[in-house]
Chain A
Amino acid sequence: MKKYFFPADSKKRKTGIRLAGIALTALLLVSAFAWSAGLIGQRNTTRTFLENTPDSFPAGYRRAHGKGICFEGTFHASGNAVPLSIAQVFGQKDVPAVGRFSLGTGNPHAPDNSSRTVSMALMLTSADGEQWRMKLNNKPFFGTRDAVGFLKQIEAFKPDPTTGKPKPEKVAAFLKEYPEAKKSMEYDAKAPWTKSFAGSEYYVINAFLLIDSNGKEHPVRWSMRPQAPFVSMSAEERKKAGPNYLFDELKKRLEKAPLYWDLVLTIAEPGDPVNDPSQQWPANRKQIIAGTLEVNRVFDQAEGGCRDINFDPTLVPKGIALSDDPVLAARAGIYSHSYNDRVREIGYGKATDAVGKPKKDNSQNK
């Protein structure tokens, strides 16, 4: 008993070494954990992508593409994709669909002429309970080959406080590291703006693998190709248009008739870049119309529905698998943070107009 806690003097040094070893073990474990959680070290984490969200960001809204409208509809499979994938969604005549049309601007109160980018998000739930979530943009490719490139692009193009313009040397350094971004910048400068959500084609950007009944993998990308014609909008027209022209036009159209998009699968050939969302595949690749999405009704996202869905593109049904596209994997984590942040605001009652409450109740809301 007497020696239980205090070993004899001759042992003190040894005890000290042992204690130091134990402390070191604990310290290493805590450090490894803190690093994994992104608390120490300089690595980019999925959190880094949300750091630009201002404190004044209105509670309860998506951190990107904040302005949007929910829709409901049905996906009618054609059966043409059944030989390529065992996913039930490709063989089911009527698959319930819930989704969201949105504007590319972060600010949920931005006018519709603030961004050329428009998006469709979609969740199809087949009869076997499998969910297929996707998030599609009208721009057919991603700016950079990986997610960090996206951060670097924002950093390089940050306006210099003295001139109000990006620093040319920073832009040049960025383009040297990510030459593929030039193509994206040209597209952004030239591509026409859409007059309607209805006439826009929405692209998945990332590649996926369809898995057939023999377990064979077929790399694909897909798009929702509108049955309504594309109509462009000039800069002049956009200047004059009301702040919600895209959303108003969509509502008007749906009051008259449903809207349709064909789900077009593009099948890669050997050598096509499956892991690089900045590279489009050649135009002559085989395409299959896997079915048609019928959109029947839109409703305000403040009512719920699409508001509480994370359209994480990595949540795919059995019969579809993820490719090793690095941007696809990064999106999963980034979407998760955006979702957690806004659902927390909604869940803890901080959201106002995002859930249909009067705006002024919340001092955070500006």
Chain B
Amino acid sequence: MNNKKLTQMPPSSFNITARILHWLMAAMILTMLFVGVGMMTSLTLRPWLLDLHIPLGVAVLLLVIVRLINRLTRPVPKLPGEMPGWQKYMATILHWVFYALMFALPLSGWAQLSAGGFPVRLYPGFHLPAILEQNPTSYALLHDSHRIMAWAFFFMIVGHLSAALIHGFIYRDNILQSMIGQKKPTDKSEEICSDQ
């Protein structure tokens, strides 16, 4: 294959740090979203789910900092040239909205607990400090935004997953592979036509 050419081009896949963080955080965030709605409904699991929600949320906040630094400092693969402009545009916007939500959700959760006067407990005996004064208006606003952002994030993740699967299994371009890490040539039009 044309390895020589590839080294001069943008990478065909995200670097290993990005890929590990992507899949790790995907699992964590999906868990967080289910834990989040679950602890607002479950008759039996709320204390346990809350004890999971807070430290996991803090972990997401720490990891997204590493992830953002990696994203801004390392080269990333290009979207396939054949992809229509509007799709590229949407993908790029969604990409950065995801980053914004990965910061906004843990921070609004932390601020919400602070505004409600609740302990931000990572484990028994270890709390994070409050980042806001206790105040009913701040609590109400933060609680509502935390919830709305979480629901929006969930539906965007479902959309993102569906789009990735469509690219991987129907369009058969390099997009899904770029996050899985399989090295494939970027131009795949030949392969699509001659597939199976």
Contact = CB atoms under 8 A, between A and B. Distances in A.
A322 B47 CA distance: 9
A288 interface: no
Interface of B: 33-34, 37-48, 50, 82, 116-119, 124-125, 127, 134-141, 143-144, 154-155, 158, 161-162, 165-166, 169-171, 173, 189, 192-193, 195
17 contacts: A4-B171, A5-B171, A8-B193, A21-B169, A22-B170, A26-B162, A29-B161, A30-B158, A33-B154, A37-B37, A38-B37, A45-B40, A45-B43, A322-B47, A330-B46, A347-B138, A347-B139
Contacts of B169: 18, 21-22
B154 A15 contact: no
A318 B125 contact: yes
Interface of A: 1, 3-5, 7-8, 11, 15, 18-19, 21-23, 25-26, 29-30, 32-33, 36-38, 44-47, 128-131, 147-148, 308-310, 314-315, 317-319, 321-322, 326, 328-330, 332-333, 336-337, 339-340, 343-344, 346-348
A62 B165 CA distance: 47
Contacts, number: 136
Contact of A3 (B37, B154, B189): B189
Contacts of A148: 43
B41 A46 contact: yes
A325 B118 CA distance: 22
B171 A308 contact: no
A329 B125 CA distance: 20
A310 B118 contact: yes
Given A3-B193, A29-B161, A332-B50, 14 more contacts: A4-B82, A4-B173, A22-B166, A25-B162, A38-B40, A38-B41, A129-B119, A308-B116, A322-B47, A330-B43, A330-B44, A344-B144, A346-B140, A348-B137
A314 B46 contact: yes
Contacts of B37: 33, 36-38
A274 to B, nearest CB: 15
B38 A36 contact: yes
